[in-house]
Structure 1
Amino acid sequence: MNEPLYSLAERFISYIQLEKRYSEHTCTAYRNDLLQFFDYTTASYGSTAVDELSHVMIRSWLARLMEDAMTAKSVNRKISTLKSFFKFCLRLGLVKQSPMIKVAAPKISRRLPGFIEEKGMKALEDNRSPVSVTSLHIFADDFEGTTHRLIFDIFYQTGIRLSELIGLQEFRVDKSSLSIKVMGKGGKERVIPINEALYAQIADYMAAKRSHLEDFEGGVLLVHPHSGQRLYPKYVYLTVRKYLTEHQITTLKKKSPHILRHTFATHLTNNGADLNAVKELLGHASLAATQVYTHTTIEQLKKVYKQAHPKA
């Protein structure tokens, strides 16, 4: 007897959650994608077994999504979900061949990642507001200001993701090797070097945390400066946006923590870092995801050409 599609979807979600160790956010997105697809096939073709799902049905669903103005990026995400699902079904012997081999993904117009200019990051590092004639400090001298400054410095000097920053543990900061270990996507751990100044800043913060707070969540490095609890994504997002906006650090409309990750990678490539090394630092699965940061290097070459070549 064929297993109902919705039941099979839950088995698949359990598989990617427990065995593949996908994040909760990814599992939720994959579940929604599958349920939307099954709702469509049930409404359009009636009750269908998994081995009866065809590339024609999938193409029809994707065409409907694009007619409803869904972006190519979102459509590709749904294609990725279906590829993973049918690969799972192949593994279980439920289908003889994946219908996805006959489904082409729409091309995505790749946007260049925004980043903060080096002078903007220098203002943050020097703790001097570029919009104040009296050289007003950007970060306050209290524990809250110390926390906020460390958030920026870790983001910019390591390029880690928001989730990785929030989950960073004290014991993963290694003094002997001057490095931190972060748990990335898919539970993959990577080691990122840090300089002595950042290590000293982290050590000072850990001492300040113990003297300032009577109680705080143990183990985790960064905590809320008032409650002592682990930082949550919205708090970090609003903190980053607040400082970038109030002190006019950048003219970019998007002022999220991810901009600091882009800035880390862009400044590395601009200063001649090997792209494979940048890939490892960022925790990218493939070099293709890292190559987007070479655009700024090309722009710099154009600038040099225009300034130096007599025919430019």
Structure 2
Amino acid sequence: MIVRFCITLQSSNFLYLSKQPLHPAVAKFLSYIQLEKRYSDHTAVAYEQDLRQFFDYLQTQYDGVPELTAIGHLHIRSWLASLMAEKQQARTVNRKISALKSFFKYTVRQGWVKQTPMVKVAAPKISRRLPGFIDEKGMQAVEDNKSLRRGQEETPIFADDLEGDTHRLIFELLYNTGIRLSELINLQERNVDTGNLTIKVLGKGNKERIIPVSRELLQQVQDYNARKRRELEQPEGVVLLVHPKSGRKLYPKYVYNMVRGYLTEHQITTITRKSPHVLRHTFATHLTNAGADINAIKELLGHSSLAATQVYTHNTIEKLKNVFKQAHPKA
């Protein structure tokens, strides 16, 4: 039987309301990852979309959704083949496989099926892409507040007003701490510990981590807090960063567009992907290039496994290769 399940996800950024019927097992699984596993709103929405797509495929291709115990690896392979035929990227397909793996593990734990069909499903290989990052010259321009645009080297990147201070602090926090965009906009004033020179961040899976910061950055935070209270009538008092006009909590699109705009306009970097996440990559890459311990970088980034952090060592190897080619007489 198909039931109507309504999943409401509230965050500072959106209200997501699903109106289409869901398989009851999927509905219970989504409730489980939200209420018990405390997955992020973004992950819950992605899982619902992927599982809905899979069961819609079964409904269409097999004249009705089979019983859970009857769903096998051939059903799943057939769906994945259809996705690949639609030119879906391997990374996207792997995300959908991950959603199915989590779902069927849940059904096994609930005793609804004896074995997950995912054991016979192989994920497509993904060509590892090295994360783009900003070089030291580009980040020094941000620190010095001087544009790299040709002929306008003395032009300030950030204006001397509340908006400019907000944007500059966003850049400084992203680069100096390596935090994610979601972690940045949810950062609270009370998370800043001026005594211990640290910032507490709430990351994925509600995991907290402590990141050391410089006195200069903390002074910038204090100056920003004073200015926003002085120039805004009622700034939101919990979060650290607020919209320079409304005083409300920032939203992801605002930060994304702002960072992309500055990186492009002032020619801070030539890489194609210009986003807040590039500053996280830059943080990790610069630490790696400077000889920082890979396990320490893992903790600072909040990665759950070392494999996710090791990609930055490849950037260092590529840099060494370039140095070798340019400097060694036998290269």
Tell me, yes or no, if structure 1 residue 269 matches structure 2 residue 283.
no
Residue 3 and residue 235 in structure 1: after superposition, are their counterparts in 2 closer, same or farther (change >3 A)? closer
Aligned residues: 311
What's the counterpart of residue 38 of structure 1? 55
Correspondence for 1:100 among 95, 109, 118? 118
Cα contact 1:3–1:49 (8 A) shared by 2 = no
Cα contact 1:50–1:95 (8 A) shared by 2 = yes
What's the counterpart of residue 30 of structure 2? 13
Using structure 1 for the length normalisation, give the TM-score.
Answer: 0.96
Q: How many angstroms does 1:304 deviate by?
A: 3.4
What's the counterpart of residue 191 of structure 1? 210
Q: How many angstroms does 1:299 deviate by?
A: 2.0
Structure having the larger proportion of residues in helix: 1
Structure 2 unmatched runs, 5+: 4-21
Q: How many angstroms does 1:140 deviate by?
A: 1.0
Q: How many angstroms does 1:255 deviate by?
A: 1.2
Q: How many angstroms does 1:307 deviate by?
A: 4.6
What's the counterpart of residue 218 of structure 1? 237
The amino acid across from 2:85 in the alignment is: E
Using structure 2 for the length normalisation, give the TM-score.
Answer: 0.91
Deviation track 1:75-110 (CA, whole Å, cap 9, x = no partner) reads 111110010001110111001111111111110011
Correspondence for 2:165 among 134, 142, 146? 146
Cα contact 1:158–1:264 (8 A) shared by 2 = yes
Q: Measure, in 1, the Cα distance between the counterparts of 2:158 and 2:94.
A: 41
What's the counterpart of residue 236 of structure 1? 255
**What pairs up with 1:1-312 in 2 under 5 angstroms?**
6-45=23-62, 46-131=64-149, 132-133=151-152, 135-312=154-331
Q: Measure, in 1, the Cα distance between the counterparts of 2:153 and 2:265.
A: 15
Q: Measure, in 1, the Cα distance between the counterparts of 2:79 and 2:322.
A: 46
Q: Which runs of 4+ in 1 moved over 3 A?
A: 2-5, 306-310
The amino acid across from 1:228 in the alignment is: G
Cα contact 2:55–2:65 (8 A) shared by 1 = no
Deviation track 1:101-154 (CA, whole Å, cap 9, x = no partner) reads 111111001111111111000000001112244611111111111111000000
Alpha carbon RMSD of aligned pairs, Å?
Answer: 1.4
Q: Measure, in 1, the Cα distance between the counterparts of 2:123 and 2:67.
A: 24
Q: How many angstroms does 1:296 deviate by?
A: 1.9
